[in-house]
């Protein structure tokens, strides 16, 4: 085994693993809340809904935080994953587009509890500006630059209609935002070095519809699992 120090910047964690670390984190928090101090990879894998071999391999990319014959210390492992993801620090976030979805996002408690702080809500519609949503006053979109500079914001959320998404993204990138979470049903192009993740509600339903249709047509059910269970 090659023991890697936690400061070894050359270490690369596969993208598929990164996407699962937050799930492990949540499962560990649930275990800790139940008063459980130690767990095996089997326990944690069950709680996270994955295969235990996959879990162990995922954790091995972070380092060697378990004890053979014993398992993992819940609090210790939780801290290590949190540090690796970066949720031990505070992340200021701006949300652009305060429609139905923007409202819901602004009120979502799961952000706050994981270190994401909504520092501003922005909308181009003057009718919305000035209203208070989730305890935050909606400000005009043109205030974006001022807010980003003041709070050193790196992460932006787009919850606008599709037609506005690319413009908003362009403005965000120009001002220095380097990570974007896009809820608008549109493809946004960004330069190298900027991360975009897309969440599209209707696409998820369409994927389910495809599998549902195959089930209804009596297709071979061996592959009926949608691949996301």
Task: Tell the smallest beta-carbon distance from residue 109 to a second copy (Å).
Answer: 9
Smallest gap from Cβ 97 to a second copy, in A, equals 12
Residue with smaller CB distance to DNA, 56 or 151: 56
Check the annotation: does 86 bind a ligand: no
Residue span binding a second copy (CB under 8 A) among the ranges 72-80, 123-131, 138-146, 206-214:
206-214
Parallel/antiparallel/unpaired status of strands 136-140 and 91-96: unpaired
Residue 208 interacts with a second copy (CB under 8 A)? yes
Rounded to an integer, what distance in angstroms lies between the CA atom of residue 142 and that of residue 147?
Answer: 10
Minimum distance, C-beta of residue 225 to DNA, in the bound complex (Å): 10
Q: Write out the residues near DNA by the rule CB under 7 A.
A: 1-2, 14-17, 39-42, 50-54, 56-57, 59-60, 64-72
Residue 66: helix, strand or coil by DSSP? strand
For residues 172, 177, 178 and 183, what is the CA-based torsion angle, rounded to 10 degrees?
A: -50
For a second copy, which residue of 37, 57, 149, 215 counts as binding (CB under 8 A)?
215
Residue 172 structure tokens? 């965000």
User: Does residue 192 interact with a second copy by CB under 8 A?
Assistant: yes
Angle, vertex CA 31, rays to CA 27 and CA 33, nearest 5: 115
The piece of 45-53, 56-64, 65-73, 140-148 that touches a second copy (CB under 8 A) is 45-53
Nearer to DNA, 54 or 198 (CB): 54
Distance of alpha carbon 60 from alpha carbon 58, whole angstroms: 5
Strands (E), the chain: 38-39, 66-67, 71-73, 91-96, 116-123, 132-133, 136-140, 155-158, 179-182, 195-198
Numbered residues of the known binding site for NAD(+): 97-102
């Amino acid at each position: 085994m090659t023991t890697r120090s936690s400061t070894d910047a050359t270490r690369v964690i596969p993208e598929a693993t990164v996407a699962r670390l937050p799930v492990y984190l949540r499962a560990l928090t649930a275990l800790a809340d139940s008063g459980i101090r130690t767990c095996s990879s089997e326990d944690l894998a069950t709680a996270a809904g994955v295969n235990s071999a996959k879990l162990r391999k995922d954790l091995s990319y972070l380092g060697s935080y378990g004890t053979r014959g014993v398992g993992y210390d819940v609090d210790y492992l939780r801290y290590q994953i949190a540090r690796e993801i970066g949720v031990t620090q505070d992340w200021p976030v701006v949300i652009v587009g305060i429609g139905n979805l923007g409202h819901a996002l602004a009120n979502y408690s799961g952000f706050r509890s994981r270190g994401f702080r909504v520092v501003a809500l922005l909308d181009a519609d003057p009718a919305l500006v000035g209203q208070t949503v989730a305890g935050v006053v909606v400000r005009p979109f043109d205030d974006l630059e001022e807010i980003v500079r003041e709070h050193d914001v790196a992460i932006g959320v787009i919850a606008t209609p599709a037609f506005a998404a690319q413009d908003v993204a362009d403005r965000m990138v120009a001002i220095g935002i380097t990570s974007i979470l896009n809820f608008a049903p549109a493809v946004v192009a960004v330069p190298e070095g900027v991360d975009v993740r897309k969440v599209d509600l209707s696409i998820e339903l369409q994927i389910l519809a495809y599998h549902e249709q195959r089930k209804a047509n009596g297709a071979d059910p061996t592959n009926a699992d949608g691949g996301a269970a």
